[in-house]
Amino acid sequence: MVTHVDINRLATARMDDLTERYVAIRAKKKALEAELAAKLEPLEAGLDALATAMLTKLHQEGAKSQATPHGTVYIATTSTAKIVDFEAMWQFAKENDVPEILQKRVSLSELEAYNESHPDAPVPGVVSEKIQSARVRAK
């Protein structure tokens, strides 16, 4: 494990030694993650089956929740939305004066492509940055 004290010593180490250690630790981490995922899989399946059974029982009983000695079971609703026709959605938002129904964000890949081809004319109202980090590609 690398600690704060190790940082000074690592700064003077050879790049090859640092890379070897990095790749070894990353491989160990990946192996542990795979082992954990395999151990969690049957537990997740069991939780999913129990949750399905509890939801079915709540629906059958017409209940939104039910208290038990071990905890309260309740129905949680998660909503999702996916635009399948952007032009129709955009037209609807304009015609009904509801632009807030859409999120305001920029396509990073398109912004980067534009900035590369127009380095002296940045897109107004957008602040972008590039953050560098060291990564290792194993041989």
- Inform me whether the pLDDT recorded for 74 exceeds 90: yes
Confidence of residue 37 (pLDDT cuts 50, 70, 90): very high
Q: If DSSP states are collapsed to H, E and C, what string results for 28-58?
A: HHHHHHHHHHHHHHHHHHHHHHHHHHHHHHH
Tell me the C-alpha distance between 41 and 34, whole Å: 11
Confidence of residue 1 (pLDDT cuts 50, 70, 90): low
Q: Is the pLDDT of residue 2 over 70?
A: no
pLDDT band at 4 (very low <50, low <70, confident <90, very high): low
Query: What does the pLDDT read at residue 62?
Result: 97
Q: Tally helices (H) and strands (E) across the chain.
A: 4, 2
What does the domain layout of the chain look like in residue ranges? 1-76, 80-126
pLDDT for residue 3 is more than 60: no
